[in-house]
A and B are shown apart, each in its own frame.
Chain A
């Protein structure tokens, strides 16, 4: 048996050895056409959060279909429940010295990207090679910085999202529309509001809204982490959230553990407010029968956080050429427009539509949104930049230590 296992292991390592990771530097020396020819007939393994049917279908069917048709490249979408799982895979591989990694692309942003960049797990410097990169305004600070971490050509933007709240117009016709109003509303409606406990991504974002409000606006928190500033703002934030606690669901003795739990509680009328970092989700939930037709998403007058999400290619990706072709395809005007269609996904684009073809421009101009989804323009009037990753992790840890115990 041992011999058999050693044999199997050996055979696998042999094949892994043959399929050497494509040398990134060699690719960077090629023309785009040469890169496409190198990629043709291969495969690309995309690791991404897999919890939404419509997003999965867009990637597998639409993008995968184009990739197959135009380049004879097979797209394997690998569903994750947590993006960190993919980062862990890459890290483990690099630590073990595996040359041809299993992961060719990860849907990523924020702390996970910072981790990859700091640990030199991201492949950088290829963005100029992508013809469709011309459609993107890389000077826009919201695109050049991923949660405050400079992108530096180590990842390519895919979509923009902005935090929004949601209510049921039949149940709560007048929801609070600013953070101070929300705090007062929660106190006046005991048990009808709560938020998922960080480290849940969306719950942590809610806490950042309160933190930003206490700091007196996003401008006060721009830039690198500042311990003195943090201590001052944090203390007041924890006070506010601890004072809020007795008015929350179950008197704040516990919090939902995930955004999905909050979504289910909103659907079951256990609470009256929902929030999400992707307002298009509210429309999807209505379509899927999870939320009533009377559900509506909305923004806050004092602004909501916005961020960009990206696609990163790991430094040890086995199929870098195919990954480049995919990056380029994802940025194309057509693919970005398809993704923005409300019945497909309703995701906000990262390209400048006026740099795309006229047909694409007309398509963006004609976009209709699901009636339950707040318009991107309305939301965008008060968009707050995301805090740097050092801030966000300090806020998360602080909440866990001071509020969520």
Chain B
């Protein structure tokens, strides 16, 4: 730390860009949701229509489910993977390499891969068919475009476990073995040392990474549009449907749904950080 001071000159360019692009985008989105620029002045019509529509609430519930399940699974499995990967085993190098490669894969690619892997006529279904386990696509469990969004969640878990795992590995690396070793020398079992000493130390990083995963899986369009069911659609898909509806009256509604996505996402992440009791 150099200490106190006002480094505004260094911050100003980045702040300006974010303010214009991001802030401006949000502001215009918000204005659009109140019907501004449509010639009819300001109105709450789009918000009233959106908030009184059962479909929107069902879509919201689905998106929350997707985000919560994906985040919980990715955090749990990411922690497990990090614990696994910090000790050596045959294939450790390959697994670490794959972890890193996975980070670089665009979501679109992963989602398409999951679709062709898990669908009822996908690669796994064909293996099952070849092994005589099923006698037709309909017998294979519905894992994509399904009611529980299994395909969508599978994609996010596949993509985010390496993300969380690598963050935790980096943190474990900088913590070193000392904290756990100290606990062990005081008689703690390996599991207790992990749970009572290592885990709390990793928690801040895990929450931060989890928040990013939550926000993304809640608001992404690319994945549910490929892997989602027809009704209800994930909230971002519904927003995009309204945005591209030939009926122009649907556009303020699209903006209102987009703002709803931003609002819910921001509130929940704030709650998560507040809950950490800082």
Interfacial residues, chain A to chain B (CB-CB below 8 A)? 1-2, 5, 82, 84-85, 87-88, 91, 95, 110-112, 114-115, 119, 191, 196-197, 199, 249-250, 253-257, 261, 264-265, 268-270, 393, 400, 404-405
Alpha-carbon separation in the docked complex, A2 to B17 (Å): 8
Question: A1-B16, A254-B231, A255-B230 given. 11 additional CB < 8 A pairs?
Answer: A1-B12, A5-B17, A82-B244, A84-B244, A85-B244, A250-B142, A254-B147, A256-B145, A257-B225, A261-B145, A270-B120
Name the prevailing secondary structure of the B interface residues: loop
Q: List residues of chain B with CB within 8 A of the CB of A87.
A: 246
Contact check, A257 vs B230: say whether CB atoms are below 8 A apart. Answer: yes
CB distance from A181 to the nearest CB of B (A): 23
Q: List residues of chain A with CB within 8 A of the CB of B251.
A: 88
Contact check, B145 vs A257: say whether CB atoms are below 8 A apart. Answer: yes
Q: List residues of chain B with CB within 8 A of the CB of A1.
A: 12-13, 16-17
Interface readout for B84-104 with A: 1 if CB under 8 Å, 0 if not?
Answer: 000000000000000000000
Contact check, B246 vs A112: say whether CB atoms are below 8 A apart. Answer: yes
Contact check, B137 vs A268: say whether CB atoms are below 8 A apart. Answer: yes
CB distance from B248 to the nearest CB of A (A): 6
Given A5-B20, A269-B121, A270-B121, check contact A84 B231 (CB 8 Å): no
Q: List residues of chain B with CB within 8 A of the CB of A264.
A: 121
Alpha-carbon separation in the docked complex, A196 to B145 (Å): 12
Contact check, B228 vs A265: say whether CB atoms are below 8 A apart. Answer: no
Contact check, B137 vs A111: say whether CB atoms are below 8 A apart. Answer: no
Contact check, B231 vs A400: say whether CB atoms are below 8 A apart. Answer: yes
Q: List residues of chain B with CB within 8 A of the CB of A405.
A: 55, 231-232
Most chain A CB within 10 A, of B16, B55, B120, B246, is at: B246
| Listed A/B pairs (26) with beta-carbon separation below 8 Å | A2-B13, A82-B244, A84-B245, A84-B246, A88-B244, A111-B246, A111-B247, A115-B248, A196-B230, A197-B230, A199-B241, A249-B138, A250-B138, A254-B229, A255-B231, A257-B225, A257-B228, A257-B229, A257-B233, A268-B121, A269-B121, A269-B136, A269-B137, A270-B120, A400-B231, A405-B231
Given A115-B248, A119-B248, check contact A254 B146 (CB 8 Å): yes
Alpha-carbon separation in the docked complex, A393 to B251 (Å): 16
Residue of A nearest to B140 (CB): A270
Given A95-B37, A114-B246, check contact A253 B13 (CB 8 Å): no
The answer to the question of B243 belonging to the interface, with a C-beta cut-off of 8 Å to chain A, is: yes
Name the interface size band of chain B: 20 to 34
Alpha-carbon separation in the docked complex, A48 to B243 (Å): 18
CB distance from A8 to the nearest CB of B (A): 12
Residue of B nearest to A401 (CB): B55
Contact check, A254 vs B138: say whether CB atoms are below 8 A apart. Answer: no
Q: List residues of chain A with CB within 8 A of the CB of B17.
A: 1, 5
Alpha-carbon separation in the docked complex, A404 to B230 (Å): 8
Q: List residues of chain B with CB within 8 A of the CB of A261.
A: 145
Residue of B nearest to A1 (CB): B13
Alpha-carbon separation in the docked complex, A253 to B146 (Å): 9
Q: Which of B200-245 contact A (CB under 8 A)?
A: 225, 228-233, 241, 243-245
Q: List residues of chain A with CB within 8 A of the CB of B13.
A: 1-2
CB distance from A324 to the nearest CB of B (A): 26
Q: List residues of chain A with CB within 8 A of the CB of B245.
A: 84, 199
Alpha-carbon separation in the docked complex, A269 to B135 (Å): 12
Q: List residues of chain A with CB within 8 A of the CB of B20.
A: 5
Q: List residues of chain A with CB within 8 A of the CB of B138.
A: 191, 249-250, 270
Alpha-carbon separation in the docked complex, A306 to B12 (Å): 59
Residue of B nearest to A83 (CB): B246
Q: Which of B228-278 contact A (CB under 8 A)?
A: 228-233, 241, 243-248, 251
Residue of A nearest to B241 (CB): A199
Residue of A nearest to B13 (CB): A1
A2 CB contact (under 8 Å) in B16, B232, B247: B16
Residue of B nearest to A199 (CB): B241
Q: List residues of chain A with CB within 8 A of the CB of B247.
A: 111, 115, 393
